[in-house]
Structure 1
Amino acid sequence: MATPSAIEPSAWTGDLLASLGRADSSIQHTLSITGHDPVIATRFRAGEAAAAVLAANATAAADLWCARGGRPQRIEVDVRAAAASLVSFAYLRYQNASFERRGLATTALYRARDGRWVHLHGGFSSREGTLALLNCDDDAGAIAKAVASWDAQALEDALAERGVCGAKLRSADEWRVHPQGMALAQVPVVEILRLGDASPEPIPGPRAEERGARPLSGVRVLDLTRVLAGPTCARTLAEHGAEVLHVRSPKLPSIEGFVIDTNPGKRSCFLDLDRKQDVEQLRALARDAHVFSQGYRPGALARRGFAPEELAEMRPGIIVVSIDCYGHEGPFAGRPGWEQLAQTVSGMALEHAGDEHPALVPAAINDYTTGYLGALGVMRALARRATEGGSWHVRVSLARTAMWIMSIPRTDPDAKPGGFDAASIAPWIIEMNTAWGPLTRLGPIARMSETPPRWDLPPARLGSDPPSWR
């Protein structure tokens, strides 16, 4: 049977922090990670990996607190609660109901003519392009028949040529020798790259002894992201006190449950970047921001004048966050993708369930963990900017996160998943009054003795606030 791993996740936390420039510090926080995997029904140590990243986040936030004059902190992370955070949308209760995810025929694994599998992802705007390519109705049987007329690689290539989502199922060994997998293997799980020169900036906001001070008080974050990793990054910054303004286009579709899940602690506005005046408004917001986080397809915002280098020119000292599926260099870098496709290409889905009936890990394991990693990169970049100056670019991706999780030894094959029960998760359930009425949900997971993480604002309806800082 699997035994508790009280040491390993803490070691992963230390490795992550060291890789981001935090050497053995004179600041000595007390860290405790309790519990062990398996919690979710997979041999991947998803809960322990998430706990290690959340502990790194809390440590980075506690370091910023000490930079304000605060005391070192006692930090505690529970593995079962961290695992629950990978399906946090499942804990939403509002309007006397829970959030139910509806499956789409265009988002599923199908077997191709050559016996290989392809995961289509016809969500949002990809649905029409997927059906047009397959020349079939939006029906699982019709889609299966159409996919069976293609070889897997040819279908993946055709989907990419049309700019819609989909990927061939690969083993970890296949991904390891694929040009994209090889490109990702050359970069750390969180990249922090210097964009340009700028004078050092102290951590903005009040000193620790001032009323209302928190680790990220005074830090302004522009959140141009949607489902799920990007919004999770900014949500994590909000739980440590950052002022987050979520910016969305009024033209883009959304999934209400995911908005409610990832938008606490934020205000939300609409800007239409097809309108010149809205582009100028975003520029004005960026000039007063500390962090600009974006999760759209690589190049989408660059075409609008918001490439990382351009942001560093208009606002020296800014921290830009780029979050995508496949990574930021390599032949797949410009392709759109989601959680399901990161699992598909990396070998995670194949190892989880086998090639006869492949299936995904039953959690948004890469989405949420990548969001946490992005927030970790931001906080470490803020610390480095305070001493080194500079503008910084934080880069994370779902596929690179999957590769990191897959680098961790598996649980014992005979271990039974602990799962979730109401009593074990109850200490992390919070209540909020929202625009949707009373809401219960999973709250922040990390416990911190001096600055307990919290969200000061309930989730906002999209576009319910003006495009301005408080």
Structure 2
Amino acid sequence: MTERSFRPLPAEPAEPAEPAEPGGSGGSGGSGGSGGDRPTADAWAAVGGPAGLLDRVSFRGPDAVLASGLPVRQLARATVAACSLAAAELAAHRDGGPVPAVRVDQGAVATAFVSERHLRIDGRALVGFAPFSGFWQAADGWVRTHANYPHHRVRLLAALGLPPDTAPEQFAETLRAQSAVRIQERAYEAGALAVAVAPPGESTHPLIESRTVDAAPARPLPAAPLPAAGLRVLDLTRVTAGPVATRTLALLGADVLRIDSPHLPEDEDAHADTGFGKRSTRLDLADPADRAAFEDLLATADVVVSGYRPGALDRHGLAPDALLERRPGLIVAQLCAWGWTGPWADRRGFDSLVQAGTGIAALTAAADGRPGVLPAQALDHGTGYLIAAAVLRALTDQRTGRPGGRHLRFSLAGTASWLVRGIRPEEGTAGGPYGPAPWLAETGSPYGRLRHALPPIAYEGGPTDWARPPGRWGTDAAVWR
């Protein structure tokens, strides 16, 4: 197998693109374009996009969204813009026309970045963080825990020597008696989730890494109304970032089939938010019949998106090189929490924990010292749109002179590094008041009546909503449409 080494995002941000011609886009305000918007140029460069297409992008809508001391709004709109432009580019390749204009609305972006908060199921809001998830005082600082899944809660309590019926008050008292790092390491050893709140460090992670593997010719794509129509995506992701990526590919026409183990629980409310446009099945890869079904799916897949810890799927023969050897020309996109190198590479993590461990919680702390949070799970959502953008760009690249399989790597820590060190905050904001109503819709589903955020992906002639609502988690057949 011929390989090229990983190509990371350059350490220094890209230079801003040349300003657009008058009457096009210009500046970086609410109605301006990406011509001088460095974060959009950086995100587009990271996914391998040609700089000459940046003048197709413009922004509109209120600037006063996703307010934070960190440049969350710029990150959010840049990732959506890069994804929208990648979709527009692939659409143009398929129909032979020019790349359509991309017009990203910052109100739509802000609404989508907190889609889980807007979701209503027959009028019921989703439950947020569980009682044992959050910031807690330790003997020498703060620690952030994550125990939304029952098995994580059981492991966390066991790591601290506490019984399953422990009350939150007793839990808090136990944490106050120990150092934050000791809590963190005890949790890690037990397979639980707790991270000491850390100051911003010097280490950085690349936003995206990519390599080209083999030289397999790409399957021709006929003209179609949507850029990803006819493409098959195996979705091996959970929680938010990966499902946002595959939800976006489904919006753009891909046949997305999510596969979960029957032995791992899932929050069906979360699936109601991220399952739009997709189907979902459960396969036990240790079972011969289920394994055969998976191999049949892989044999004609175009893309595999994986969101498990590095090495977690290797024992099932699902390491990237193994997948690419069995399916030359495949695009494999991998997501992890803490980056692909270093002592934390194999650790579990979620957006909230990465915020704590990379200095974001400290940078957004309140005046009394309590750690802060971003106004959205921006690492999750932003990384999700970057994954979708990179997959779409790889599909175009394969068909425009750069054939061969792709191995793409992303991490929440990489997106955090970009937010903290790679994007310059803007001085002040402009625009009128923001309300989410224009970017919310209602639809029926097997879960009940859903009120949900509309997708923020926006290019001329593109889809404005998903073709199907989320089905019940794990109930679809393990076959392509």
TM beyond 0.5? yes
Corresponding residue number in structure 2 for 1:108? 134
**SS of the residue aligned with 2:113?**
helix
Gaps of 5+ in 1: none
Q: Counterpart of 2:223?
A: 207
Aligned counterpart for 1:123 among listed residues 148, 155, 166:
148
The answer to whether 1:308 aligns with 2:320 is: yes
The 2-side partners of 1:37 and 1:404 are apart by: 20
Cα deviations by residue, 1:249-280 (Å, 9 ceiling, x for unpaired): 22222222210110111111111223122122
Deviation at 1:229, TM superposition (A): 0.4
| 1:442 corresponding residue in structure 2 | 453
Query: Superposed, which structure 2 residues align to 1:325-364 within 5 Å?
Result: 325-354=337-366, 356-364=369-377
Q: Which amino acid aligns with 2:105?
A: D
Equivalence for 1:374: 387
Q: 1:32: how far off?
A: 1.1
Count of equivalent residues: 445
Over the matched positions of the two proteins, sequence identity in percent amounts to: 35
Alpha-carbon RMSD: 2.2
Q: What is the identity, as a one-letter code, of the residue corresponding to 1:356?
A: G
Q: Deviations over 1:1-42 (max 9, x none)?
A: xx94645684322222223332334x6863211245442342
* Correspondence for 2:211: 193
Asked if 1:410 corresponds to 2:464, the answer is no
8 Å contact from structure 1 (residues 221, 290) kept in 2: yes
Q: Give the CA deviation at 1:378.
A: 0.7
**How far is the alpha carbon of 1:84 from its aligned partner?**
1.7
**In structure 1, what residue type is equivalent to 2:194?**
G
Structure 1 counterpart SS, 2:281: strand
Task: Find the counterpart in structure 2 of residue 139 from structure 1.
Answer: 167
Residues 329-370 of structure 1: CA distance to partner in whole angstroms, max 9, x if unpaired? 211110001011110011111111247211322321111111
Change (3 A) 1:285 1:29: farther
- What CA deviation, in whole Å up to 9, does each residue of 1:118-165 have, x standing for no partner? 112123222111101112253222112111222222222222222221
Structure 2 distance, partners of 1:203, 1:348, is: 44
Amino acid at match of 1:75: V
1:157 aligned residue (185, 203, 217): 185
How far apart are the structure 2 equivalents of 1:38 and 1:302? Answer: 44
| CA-CA distance at 1:201 after TM superposition | 0.5
Q: 1:106 to 1:450 in 2, by over 3 A?
A: same
| Match of residue 117, structure 2, among 90, 98, 101 | 90
1:12-411 matches, cutoff 5 A: 12-25=39-52, 30-35=56-61, 37-68=63-94, 69-95=96-122, 97-113=123-139, 115-124=140-149, 125-137=151-163, 138-172=166-200, 175-176=201-202, 181-182=203-204, 184=205, 187=206, 189-194=207-212, 196-204=213-221, 206-208=222-224, 213-354=225-366, 356-386=369-399, 387-407=401-421, 408-411=423-426
Distance 1:28 1:19, change over 3 A: closer
1:348–1:37 distance in 2 versus 1, CA, 3 Å: farther
Q: By how many angstroms is 1:410 displaced? A: 3.0
Displacement of 1:420: 4.4
Identify the range of structure 1 (34-43 vs 132-141) with the bigger mean alpha-carbon deviation: 34-43
Rounded Cα–Cα distance in structure 1 between residues aligned with 2:118 and 2:450: 10
Shift of 1:417: 11
Per-residue CA shift, 1:394-413, capped at 9, x if unaligned?
A: 11111211121223233558
Query: 2:446, 2:471 within 8 Å by CA — same for their partners in 1?
Result: yes
Structure 1 Cα separation of the partners of residues 432 and 168 of structure 2: 33
2-structure distance, mates of 1:168, 1:418:
38
Structure 2 unaligned spans of 5+: 1-27
What is the Cα deviation at residue 81 of structure 1?
Answer: 1.9
Select between 377-386 and 263-272 the one with higher mean Cα deviation: 377-386
> What's the secondary structure of 1:64's corresponding residue?
helix
Matched position secondary structure for 2:114: helix
The structure carrying a bigger helix percent of its residues is 1
Alignment of 1:3-14 (within 5 A): 4=29, 6=32, 10-14=37-41
Measured at CA, do residues 224 and 417 of structure 1 come closer, stay the same or move farther in structure 2, by a change above 3 Å? Answer: farther
Q: Per-residue deviation at 1:419?
A: 7.0
